[in-house]
């Protein structure tokens, strides 16, 4: 894959199939989750600013590239830890360990990380590139409020109506 917002594979070395090493492009800004945790701890204002909007745009561009390949490539594990930043806050998508070219119309294997996972993937139903778009929405919520997905849901009591 060759895209400015997808991490570059430098090379692979191995002694055996069970002893492999992958060398990827170095991103000196760390991952997005670490940045957002530091924002939360420093009480950085929530909401979108130019920096966050640019990060979001980079992720969208990477997904557009993946999904426009023939056949489309589904990342299947889009989350803030899999978005690396350089010192200029340019974002690159990484961790293609479970990405898969879509060889048929849909897949059913429940893979990915549950907090970012589309409902159809969680339920083991058929899914396609739209599952990555669901995960993108979760990442956008992280960019907005700096917290892990559904953090506030855990702190509120359920509201029941009826008898």
Average pLDDT, integer, range 34-44 = 97
Average pLDDT, the chain: 87
Backbone φ, ψ for residue 128 (5° rounding): -145, -155
Mean pLDDT across 3-20: 92
Confidence of residue 104 (pLDDT cuts 50, 70, 90): very low
The residue ranges of every structural domain in the chain are 1-7+51-150
What single string gives the DSSP state of each residue in 29-83?
Answer: T-BHHHHHHHHHHTTPPPS--HHHHHHHHHHHHHHHHHHHSSS-EE-S---GGGE
Our measurement of the distance from residue 144's CA atom to the centroid of its chain's CA atoms, rounded to an integer in Å, reads: 15
β-pairing, 83-85 vs 73-74, is: unpaired
Which class would CATH give 1-7+51-150?
mainly alpha
The candidate with the shortest Cα–Cα distance to 33, out of 97, 110, 113, 130, is: 113
Q: What is the dihedral of CA 22, 31, 25, 77, to 10 degrees?
A: 50
pTM above 0.75, yes or no: yes
Q: Active-site residue 77, yes or no?
A: yes
Q: Kindly indicate the confidence band of residue 26, based on its pLDDT and cuts at 50, 70 and 90.
A: very high
Catalytic residue from among 73, 77, 95, 132: 77
């Amino acid at each position: 894959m060759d895209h400015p917002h997808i991490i570059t594979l430098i090379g692979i070395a191995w002694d055996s199939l069970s002893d492999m090493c992958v060398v990827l492009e170095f991103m000196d800004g760390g991952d997005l989750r670490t940045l957002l945790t530091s924002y939360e701890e420093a009480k950085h204002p929530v909401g979108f600013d130019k920096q966050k909007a640019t990060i979001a745009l980079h992720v969208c561009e990477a997904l557009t590239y993946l999904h426009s390949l023939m056949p489309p490539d589904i990342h299947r594990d889009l989350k803030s830890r899999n978005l690396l930043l350089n010192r200029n806050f340019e974002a690159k998508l990484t961790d293609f360990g479970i990405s898969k070219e879509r060889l048929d119309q849909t897949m059913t294997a429940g893979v990915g990380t549950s907090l970012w996972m589309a409902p159809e993937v969680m339920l083991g139903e058929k899914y396609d590139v739209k599952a990555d778009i669901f995960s993108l929405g979760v990442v956008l919520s992280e960019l907005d409020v700096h917290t892990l997905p559904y953090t506030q849901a855990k702190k509120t009591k359920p509201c029941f109506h009826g008898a």
